[in-house]
Amino acid sequence: MKKQNNSNKKEKFVACRRASDGSLQEFKSNSGKVYDYEMALEAVESGDIENAIPFTGKDGQRYIRGKNDGNPKTNLTNLKEF
pTM of the model: 0.82
Rounded Cα distance, 50 and 38, in Å: 17
Q: Which helix (H) or strand (E) holds 45?
A: helix 37-45
Domain range annotation of the chain: 13-81
Write the pLDDT tens digit of every residue in 36-51.
999 999 999 999 999 9
Q: What is the dihedral of CA 17, 19, 20, 23, to 10 degrees?
A: -100
Q: Write the CB contacts of 78 (distance below 8 Å, at least 6 apart in sequence).
A: 72
> In percent, how much of the chain has pLDDT > 90?
74
